[in-house]
Structure 1
Amino acid sequence: MIIKQKLAGNIDFDYKWYDIYNCDDHDIRLLKDDFDLTSEIISYITDLHERPHFDHDYITNSDLLVYDVPVWPTADADHFTTLPIKFLMVGHTLFTVHSPDTTYMIEEFRQKPDEHIHSEKELIFAILFAVTKYFQRALSQLNSQRLVLDNHLSERIHNKDLQELSQVEKSLVYLSSSIRTNLMMLESLKNKKSGLHMNASEEEMCDDIIIEVQQSLQMIKIYSEVTEEISKTSNNILNNNLNNTMQFLTVWSLLLTIPTIVTGFFGMNVDLPIFHNPFDWVIITVGSVIVMAILLWYLRRHNML
């Protein structure tokens, strides 16, 4: 679907802005026939696995910028993921290409008027600044979820809590990878050899985005370290509980072996050296208990219990 966009507030554009998502064969034909885009460029902007980067094509005089954006958990993926949003500048025409999962970001941005946007590059940086805020929102949500899990795990560890902690770790991995590559791409834009010529206002906007991304990167480092420590602590607690359980079972299996051996002897159908009176079972039971007590004392003395 190709939609001609306009910011709220009746701002007059000196350029055209087209938003594209759910690109089908009909849209591809329109991009070729009406906008004279090459098949190579179309393949780039429709690739869902394109990593963040900037590319200037001197032949077509076009600029392609790819930036990762966060995607909230869904029924298909119960953790945060990321998807690319592409910005294609051809002359004074800007194309934004993304998946339906990230359409809400463009719609929310479009409803916020900004009279300081006067060029397609300023529009790109304004969208990037707004999108970067979603990373911080996602990290704040993950941190709140982590705090809840931390409280649950400190009381008693359940499989459900461990699964949710695993989802938090997966989300942090996805977001961390995207934030790092986004930062590398933004820093490459400042290079004069990149081919993207920016004025003072556009450079200032780019610097603001880099600061926001760096803050997000610091946040995710802290959250990742804390989450890793929680995971290690949970594993240590589980291992310690398992050791205690195995120690308990081992000690009782040793103690219960004694009456089993004793009763095994006296259960044989042969004569045994005993008093042959009605109180034999009392003597056997007391003797077994005494031997068990001695074994228990020995295990405790040698720190085996």
Structure 2
Amino acid sequence: MKLKRGENMIRRQEINGKSPLNYSWYDIKNIDEKDILQLKRRFHFTPTIISYVADKNERPHYDHDSLTNTELIVYDIPVWPEANTEHFTTRPLIFLLQGTTVYTFHTDKTEYIFKEFKEEKAQDAKDATEFIMLFLLHATKYFQRALNQINNRVNRLDARLNSKIKNKDLLDLAQMERSLVFVSSSARTNLMMLENLKNTPFSWHITKNAQEKLDDVLIEAEQAARTVEISNEVTEKISRTSNNILNNNLNDTMKFLTVWSLILTIPTILTGFFGMNVKLPILNNDFDWIIIIGANVVLMGALYIYLRHNDFL
């Protein structure tokens, strides 16, 4: 079955050209109001379920609807930077299990993970629960890919920052920090959801193979959360060090400008005083300007020596 309207669709998935034997898989991409009506009428989705699957910002969690015997699993995956977004973000994958039927919900931004899973992993699933666990295991590995890319970029920025700090490099580093905030938050909430999954009604009918896959997912998710935390700490330290160096350079510049402003104040005072159009005592000959210049040089030199001696320079 395939109900299609432009980029929005409800599609019954086939694997290697055939429908799965022990379960059914429906994929819903870019859910809209017409999709929601179809889901209500044809599949009897309740308003509560609809509110979950239609939320594009739903946080990772598990939910069980005893009325319809429906189980919901929301799991975040990383989304790579695009033209209008210079940092990594995360978006939810939503799995809905009704008996032996699995519904998946995603958007264009998470389409990449579906294509690779369908081509490489989906055929290994023998039942609905194993299908979900295989999908989660496949999705979790993308965190490590995202982290590798973030760490490589941070290392390149660190090398540039060691030579000369530029605002552009600091802005790039800030984007990587934002990336790690998104990835770190999602990795932790994914792990919390998975750890609690064994204590939910989902565990009542999970098969042995699916249980083994769940253990693998937990290992991958825990490793991802730990690695993200380490990367976040390293990036924060690099950022703090770079900001400290930049602030120190700025302080040195301001100190230099302040000192020379003080030194150059002396000629301004003397020339302003002796430049008044009134008769002044002491200096009354044609070489007065030489004396004034000499006084400027002596006073400026004395101030320079004083400031240098007192570590202002």
Normalising by the smaller structure, the TM-score range is over 0.9
The TM-score normalised by the length of structure 1 is 0.94
Q: Classify the secondary structure of the residue corresponding to 2:120.
A: coil
Cα distance between partner residues in 2 of 1:69 and 1:283:
78
User: Counterpart of 2:162?
Assistant: 154
Cα distance between partner residues in 2 of 1:33 and 1:11:
23
Q: CA deviation at 1:296?
A: 1.0
Query: Amino acid of the residue matched to residue 21 of structure 1?
Result: K
User: Counterpart of 1:31?
Assistant: 39
User: Counterpart of 1:134?
Assistant: 142
Map of 1:67-82 to 2, 5 A cutoff? 67-82=75-90
User: Counterpart of 1:228?
Assistant: 236
Q: CA deviation at 1:100?
A: 1.6
Structure 1 residues without counterparts, runs of 5 or longer: none
Query: Is 2:130 the counterpart of 1:122?
Result: yes
Cα distance between partner residues in 1 of 2:121 and 2:187:
27
Query: Is 2:83 the counterpart of 1:108?
Result: no
Cα distance between partner residues in 1 of 2:122 and 2:34:
33
The TM-score normalised by the length of structure 2 is 0.92
User: Counterpart of 2:13?
Assistant: 5
Query: Is 2:73 the counterpart of 1:44?
Result: no
My pick for the range that moved more, 6-15 or 111-120, is 6-15
Q: Is the 8 A contact 2:122 2:131 kept in 1?
A: no
Query: Amino acid of the residue matched to residue 192 of structure 2?
Result: M
Q: Is the 8 A contact 1:56 1:195 kept in 2?
A: no
Query: Is 2:214 the counterpart of 1:217?
Result: no
Cα distance between partner residues in 1 of 2:30 and 2:18:
27
Cα distance between partner residues in 1 of 2:252 and 2:280:
40
CA gap of 1:114–1:293, structure 2 versus 1, over 3 A, is: same
Q: Classify the secondary structure of the residue corresponding to 1:34.
A: helix
Query: Is 2:102 the counterpart of 1:94?
Result: yes
Cα distance between partner residues in 1 of 2:278 and 2:37:
99
Q: Is the 8 A contact 2:13 2:19 kept in 1?
A: no
User: Counterpart of 2:184?
Assistant: 176
Q: Classify the secondary structure of the residue corresponding to 1:253.
A: helix
Q: Is the 8 A contact 1:8 1:112 kept in 2?
A: no
Query: Amino acid of the residue matched to residue 93 of structure 2?
Result: I
Q: Is the 8 A contact 2:64 2:70 kept in 1?
A: yes
Q: Across the two proteins, how many residue pairs are aligned to each other?
A: 305
Cα distance between partner residues in 1 of 2:205 and 2:308:
77
User: Counterpart of 2:309?
Assistant: 301
User: Counterpart of 1:61?
Assistant: 69
Query: Is 2:279 the counterpart of 1:271?
Result: yes
Query: Amino acid of the residue matched to residue 214 of structure 2?
Result: C
Cα distance between partner residues in 1 of 2:121 and 2:246:
53
Cα distance between partner residues in 2 of 1:33 and 1:275:
105
Cα distance between partner residues in 2 of 1:74 and 1:275:
74
1:108-157 C-alpha deviation (Å, 9 max, x unpaired): 10001565421111010111111111111111111111111112222222
Cα distance between partner residues in 2 of 1:276 and 1:35:
108
CA gap of 1:64–1:273, structure 2 versus 1, over 3 A, is: same
Cα distance between partner residues in 1 of 2:21 and 2:99:
14
CA RMSD across the alignment: 1.8
Cα distance between partner residues in 2 of 1:103 and 1:218:
26
1:233-271 C-alpha deviation (Å, 9 max, x unpaired): 121122112111111111111111111111122112233
Structure 2 residues without counterparts, runs of 5 or longer: 1-8
My pick for the range that moved more, 2-11 or 106-115, is 2-11
Q: CA deviation at 1:12?
A: 4.4
Q: Is the 8 A contact 2:15 2:123 kept in 1?
A: no
CA gap of 1:52–1:275, structure 2 versus 1, over 3 A, is: closer
Higher relative contact order (CA 8 A, sep 6+): 1
User: Counterpart of 1:145?
Assistant: 153
Cα distance between partner residues in 2 of 1:131 and 1:233:
34
Q: CA deviation at 1:10?
A: 5.3
